Amino acid sequence: MGPDGGARNRRWRSTTAVRAWIACAAWATTAGAAPFDLAWSAPEGCPSREEMVAATRTRLGEDETEASPDLFVRGTVSADGEAFVVTFLVKDATGAEVGERELRVKGHECRAIEEPAALVLATMISVVRPSSFEPAPVGPPEPSAAVEATSTALPPPPPSPRRPPPGPARAALAADAEPTLPSLRALGAVGVASVGILPQAGGGVGLRTSYWLRSRFLVALEMSFEAGASVRAGRGVVAFQLLSTTAMAGVTMLRAAKVELVPVLALRGGILRTAPSGFQLVKAAARPMALAGGGVLVRAPLAPRVHFEILPQAEVALVRDVFEATEGRRTFRLHQSSLLGARLTVGISYEFP
């Protein structure tokens, strides 16, 4: 072999050794990335768990992995006036707390927290990753070693360090992951339709004020006015009107991105008023009414803080009276509320922090 051939052979061996060193370094860096698991609790309109995980991985420069997580993160978001407060708590695989950070992001749109929150979380993960998963320092090979390395095949990558089972840490994290959603107040306007209480059917309008404890438990008060069909008897006519106040309580059973279901119990009391024309009523023109019932409040977001609401209810009349009128010596039975009735309210509400 000539001098040129020997030089080319040495260059080929050196290049092969450098490539082997680069491959080992890349493998060591990937193996050093300890995966993380995120338990995420945030109000409606905030980034989802999947979006936060993807944004954090992008900041870390990592791809999705099937490996068991070694870091467990609990993230919560709560509204605080004109800002959102994001809190991260990081635990290792043994359940020990290794980091905590709180971030305040000003603004009315919760989605604005995604970038700053992902940056903070990525920084925390980089700092607290277990040292056993740090990539071993890999330096460039010596020239003589590079030549020798070409005579043997590359060694297989060392086995991944055994990770402790994540079960205890995951259980501890789940126990701590109670949502800390904000309490809200809401004011809404509704249209009302009912059957069973007024003659034939009733219709009207109402106002509803609501308080959402931790965005889950509902306490509401509604005032409404309804008018029913007029009843004709003999040569006279009687109109019926109902003024009522409803107290409601419920708890959110389902919350998804586009809909929320809240079973409620309701107690309604009011005054059933009559306006006779042409004859005299046997009893007073205004009488008390009392009803109890329940239903499911369905809420759907229309815009930030604005919800469309529909509440179908079934009601039982607790107090119901008979309305009669007289014309000369004749007595007419005008109306008595049914024992069972139904009511539907449809409207829009606006939430206040």
pLDDT bin (cut points 50, 70, 90) of residue 223 is very high
Confidence (pLDDT) at 224: 96
E-state strands within 81-134 = 83-92, 97-106
Q: Which of 158, 189, 188, 129 is nearest to 24 (CA)?
A: 158
Contact 161, 134 (CB under 8 A): no
- Residue at 163: amino acid letter: R
208/187 Cα distance (integer angstroms)? 6
pLDDT band at residue 176, thresholds of 50, 70 and 90?
very low
User: Residues 96-103: what's their mean pLDDT?
Assistant: 87
Say what the pLDDT of residue 24 is: 41
pLDDT given at position 321: 82
Overall pTM surpassing 0.85 (yes/no): no
pLDDT per position as a tens digit, 177-214: 444 567 889 999 999 999 988 988 999 999 999 999 87
Domains of the chain, start order? 3-176 (no CATH), 184-352 (2.40.160.70)
pLDDT above 70 (res 114): yes
pLDDT computed for residue 239 by the predictor: 84
For 42-91, write each residue's pLDDT tens digit: 888 899 999 999 888 888 888 777 778 888 899 999 888 778 899 999 98
Rounded to whole angstroms, the Cα distance separating 267 from 245 reads 8
The whole-number average pLDDT for the span 164-177 is 49
Query: Do residues 299 and 278 make contact, with C-beta atoms less than 8 angstroms apart?
Result: no
Question: Between 237 and 318, where is the model more confident?
Answer: 318
Residue with tokens 């700092």: 127
